[in-house]
Amino acid sequence: MTASPTLVDRATAALLGLAIGDALGMPTQSMSRERIARTYGSIETLRDADAEQPIAPSMPAGSITDDTEQALLLGDLLVAGGGRLDPRTFADALSEWERIMAAKGSRDLLGPSTKAAIAAIQHGATPEDDPGRFGTTNGAAMRIAPVGVAFRSDHAVLLPAVAEASRLTHNTGLGLSGAAAVAAAVSHALDDAAATSHSVIAAAATAADALRTSGNWVAGGAIGPRIRWASATIVPLDEADALDFVADVVGTSVASQESVPAAFALIARFGDDPYAVLRHAAALGGDTDTVAAMAGAVLGALHGMTAWPDDVVTRVVEVNDLDVGPLVNGLLDLRLAAA
């Protein structure tokens, strides 16, 4: 079975949307909203990182970060494994990726949950020792989009794949449900040609509910209800109040229960203009690259390549020497093989 041109277009747009959101948020990540405004003004397009950028100083406009790199790494391993992800292989690949990044002088390394889990494995822990039992941050959600491309939105198929790709580093209800939300939104958009912003948000919240009690319990607001609340609350607000709501009330930190609902709230309010969603995410402060990357993956799957300005796509592809075509084909082969 061969993927239709429309399916290929949307899957490609999901992975490139992730990369574009990541690149838009690269120069603003880990900065306050106020500092972003002082340093860059309005975020209208890709920008060079300021020399004082705390994570990516002076990186050129269009550069991707760990969000895209880890997503592509996961996708490649998924294809190589025929749809399965071996925990030890994944751990070794993440560790090697960080070593290479550190050797290049990059400060954009593994996030706190992933780093703790990989460190435990390097010190002798096995996957059976549950090194991801404290992982609550958004690291699993930021890199999960390839799973949404590779597996249909049927929970019996999709959610075990989400858990397999996430539990090594984020084996908590918060970490798993955040990843489930993003994967389900991407997969639903690819499954249903009539999908809308409303339906992908509903799919995300329902999937998050399904993994809410999976893994280890850690205190924190449940992600499914927070997606519904944030997405409903933001819709009637004018633009300024909507952005204040996301930044000041929903939150944009690395915590899954903040950044994942933030991405879906922006989709709910501004989803008819996908590129605007990513620009807004990049300007809100906090974990800007991850919020924008998650939203970009979902909106790319929903709208296809027409969502992204041609000049922005060209810049991100050229700066990072990206060729997602072979990965898209491999992921869609997995998706169609299971049909």
**Residue 66, marked binder:** yes
Q: Are residues 85 and 165 in contact, defined by beta-carbon separation less than 8 angstroms?
A: yes
Radius of gyration of the chain (CA): 18
67 marked as part of a ligand binding site: yes
Neighbours of 37 (CB within 10 A): 15
DSSP code string of 174-212:
HHHHHHHHHHHHHHHHHH-TT--HHHHHHHHHHHHHHTT
Contact present, 78 and 148 (Cβ < 8 Å) = no
CA atoms of 193 and 196, how far apart (whole Å): 9
Among positive and negative, which fits the CA dihedral 20, 22, 26, 32? positive
Tell whether 310 is in a known binding site: no
- For 63-108, the DSSP string reads ---HHHHHHHHHHHHHHHTTT---HHHHHHHHHHHHHHHHHTT-S-
Asked if 150 and 169 touch (Cβ cutoff 8 Å), the reply is: no
User: Is 323 flagged in the annotation as binding?
Assistant: no
**Which tokens hold the place of 220?**
């924190």
Letter string b/e over residues 317-327, b meaning 16 or more CB atoms within 10 A of that residue's CB: bebbebebeeb
Q: Is 287 annotated as a binding residue?
A: yes
- Angle between the 310-320 and 5-25 helix axes, to the nearest 10 degrees? 70
Decide: 286 and 252 in contact? Cβ < 8 Å. Answer: yes
β partners of residue 286: 31
What does the alpha-carbon distance between residue 132 and residue 191 come to, in Å, rounded to a whole number? 30
Instruction: List, as residue ranges, the binding site for Mg(2+).
Output: 65-67, 287, 289-290
Instruction: List, as residue ranges, the binding site.
Output: 65-67, 287, 289-290
